[in-house]
Amino acid sequence: MSEKIEIVHVDKVELMEIAWDIRHSVFTKEQGIPAELDKDGEDKHALNILLYVDGRVAGTGRMVIENKKGVLARIAVLREFRGRGYASEIVRALERYGVEQGVTKFELYPHRYLESFYNRLGYISDPDYSSNVAGHALIRMSKEVTQ
């Protein structure tokens, strides 16, 4: 039996609260990232999405678009839904929306251990960039839009 996957654009406070709950669970509780670093004020400028599987919320992600560049961030999948390709679904949904909005380049700043995951989605690492947030090594990756 195949699962029904649904992407929902966050357009209500109630939906944003669901996204924040997922992010709190993944980033703050699991990874120890302070909550104030997650709630950085960018959500009001971003496209936030939720991914549902068979009617159950499974993950979230966001993208801020500026000068034809889409910056993907806050991609999180609840533990019980991991390993089934849902993070890839979130990334592809954000990319589709970005292309519709005229984005020509995507960028993100994932944990270093996620580099091969994003490589498989076509992202290239910037060897000259590294950062650290709450003890987590971050890298910068980008992907040009091909027509």
pLDDT for 27-47, tens place per residue?
A: 999 898 888 888 877 888 999
Q: Model confidence at 1, in pLDDT bands (50, 70, 90)?
A: low
- The pLDDT value recorded for residue 29 is 93
Phi/psi-derived region of residue 28, left when phi > 0, alpha when psi is between -120 and 50, beta in every other case = alpha
pLDDT for 112-146, tens place per residue?
A: 999 999 999 999 999 999 898 888 899 999 999 98
CA dihedral 8, 110, 134, 33 (to 10 degrees): 20
Phi/psi-derived region of residue 68, left when phi > 0, alpha when psi is between -120 and 50, beta in every other case = left
pLDDT for 42-84, tens place per residue?
A: 888 999 999 999 999 999 999 999 999 999 999 999 999 999 9
Question: Taking the domain 5-144, which CATH number applies?
Answer: 3.40.630.30
pLDDT for 87-100, tens place per residue?
A: 999 999 999 999 99
Q: Model confidence at 110, in pLDDT bands (50, 70, 90)?
A: very high
The domain spans of the chain are 5-144
Element spanning 87, H or E: helix 86-100
Average pLDDT on 94-109 reads: 97
Question: Which segments of the chain are extended strands (E)?
Answer: 5-9, 47-53, 56-66, 69-77, 105-108, 124-125, 131-133, 136-138, 141-144
Size of the chain, expressed as the number of residues it contains: 147
